[in-house]
Amino acid sequence: MRTLRRRLLGLLLIAVMVGGVALSIALYDKAFTPVVTVKLQADKIGNQLIKQSDVKVRGLIVGSVQDIVATDKGAELTLALQPESAKLIPENVSARFLPKTLFGERFVSLEIPKDPSAKTLSNGDVIPQDRTSNAVELEQAFSHLMPVLQAVQPQKLSATLTAISTALQGRGDQLGDTLSQLGTYIGELNPHEPELQHNLKALAEFSDHLKDAAPDLVQSLDNLSTTTRTVVDERQNLSNLYGSLTQASVDLQTFLQNNKDNIISLVDTARPTAELLAKYAPEYPCVISQMAKNVPLIDQALGKGTNQPGLHATIEIIVPRAPYQAGKEEPRFDDKRGPRCYDIKDIPKPFPSEPPDGAFKDGTLHQAAPKSAGEGLNPAKFKADAAGNGGSGGDLAYSTAEQGFLADLLGPQLGMTAADVPGWSSLLVGPLYRGAEVTVK
């Protein structure tokens, strides 16, 4: 009997426990609570809406989701509304699915229209999903937000937001001032909005040009990589070069320190010369160009490319000015005409003894010569063959006849008679005149 009694008590305990669990489930499902049951048809509800989710009207809980059934067109929800609340909800309400928090589950929000119906909800009524533009945009925004939230890992985002909240705690005034200043800056930026738009358009055009130049840029970067590899390969040589440059820099520094006074003195002394060279700098290109043009003529005069090397020239001896007059002519430089260059194409032939714009002002008197170079001279004496022989034949080199001939040529140039010309003058100018054709004016 005692064993049977214990068994019965055990069964009774199990029955009580099962009954308690069943009662708890029934209470959770509100099986003993009077409700108004309505249907909600939706195309999609998402994973965040589950059974027992709240049903709200303007933020107040008026019921819960009793059941969710999938259909061909989406889903059908059974809503259990509180009878006292259902009496206040118009029949033409619509429903939206909104999240409780950024990462929380959704709830059903019943939206009361602008023109509510006088009739209220009752058992068996069907509530449609809100299809207004605002509701559709809000639904799309939440749909697009979910992949982002899944990608950023909500737990990490929550930790980040918590850290930001902790950092901003107690700094509300500073944050407010910052936002106020930001508003001021934005207000000042508004008048410049057209310029900003123009700059953004220009930036877009620049980006297009940069896109077109991208292949060349990539090629340049590839070439740069080659240069970089070369530098890496030659790093030891570069290191040696840097060491040599360092030593050279030290030597140069020592030299400059030891000779700084001399260098300063040299620069100061050379300044007048440099200023003079700078003054006449405009004529350098012309002079150098004419020198270059005269190279072929000089080669021709020296017999280049012929079987007769040597000077081939016609020397004309003229009397350009009167002899020196003591007391009237003193050497000086009064020519202040500055840089100039003459075009050799326009110079008459024979070549003049003075520049086209006048003689140099060197202190001498420029006047007619007292006599001509050909006065009292035998024209036959001015002829010589290529071998340096006179017209009468025989070797006249360094002879008395040649000395007399040269004295007749040089006398008028030196402002003296032929008898006063030194005898050694033939040693200086004889080789120059010998074998050449001389014209005396």
- pLDDT tens profile 321-376: 667 777 777 888 888 878 888 777 766 666 667 777 777 788 777 654 334 333 33
pLDDT at 97: 83
Taking 60 as the threshold, does the pLDDT of residue 198 lie above it?
Answer: yes
Q: Which structure tokens are listed for 323?
A: 């002899």
Q: Using omega within 30 degrees of 0 as the cis cutoff, is the peptide bond preceding 350 cis?
A: yes
Q: Which long-range contacts (CB under 8 A, 24 or more apart) does 264-267 make?
A: none
pLDDT at 61 over 80: yes
Structure tokens at 237: 């040589």
Of 134-138, 140-144, 155-159, 180-184, which has the strongest mean pLDDT? 180-184
Per-domain residue ranges of the chain: 1-32, 34-146, 170-232, 313-329+364-441
Higher pLDDT, 234 or 417: 234
User: Which among 352, 392, 374 is positioned nearest to 438, based on CA atoms?
Assistant: 374
Across 165-202, b (16+ Cβ under 10 Å) vs e yields eeeeeeeeeeeeeeeeeeeeeeeeeeeeeeeeeeeeee
- The contacts found for 148-152 with CB under 8 angstroms, 24 or more apart, are 149/102, 149/103
Angle at which helix 214-233 crosses helix 235-279, to 10 degrees, equals 110
Rounded Cα distance between 81 and 78, Å, is: 10
Per the prediction, the chain carries an average pLDDT of 79
Between residues 414 and 440, the one the model is more confident about: 414
Could you tell me which residues come within 8 angstroms of residue 353 by beta carbon, excluding any fewer than 6 positions away?
318, 320
pLDDT at 192 over 80: yes
- Using CA atoms, how far residue 193 sits from 200, 201, 205, in Å, is 10, 12, 18
pTM for this prediction: 0.32
pLDDT tens figures, 300-317: 889 888 888 888 877 766
Which pLDDT belongs to residue 387?
34
- Among 99-103, 140-144, 311-315, 321-325, which is the least confidently predicted range? 140-144
Distances 55 to 95, 261, 416 between C-alpha atoms, Å: 9, 98, 139
Alpha-carbon span 249 to 245, nearest angstrom: 6
- CB atoms near residue 63 (< 10 Å): 25
Residue 16 identity:
V
Instruction: Confirm if 45 and 75 have CB atoms less than 8 A apart.
Output: yes
What local confidence, expressed as pLDDT, does residue 309 receive? 86
Higher pLDDT, 433 or 210: 210
H or E element, residue 67: strand 60-71
Task: List the structure tokens of 28.
Answer: 């959770």
pLDDT for position 381? 33
Higher pLDDT: 2 or 41? It is 41
* Residues 6 or more apart in contact with residue 78 via CB below 8 angstroms: 37, 38, 39, 40, 65, 66, 67, 68, 69
Which of 20-29, 32-41, 283-292 comes out lowest in average pLDDT? 20-29
Of residues 126, 112, 104, the one with CA closest to residue 54: 104
Give the Å distances, CA to CA, from 314 to 9, 373, 392, 402.
Answer: 156, 16, 21, 19
pLDDT tens-place string over residues 258-300:
999 999 999 999 999 999 899 888 888 888 988 898 899 889 8
Q: Which pLDDT value is given to residue 266?
A: 92
pLDDT, greater one: 31 or 295: 295
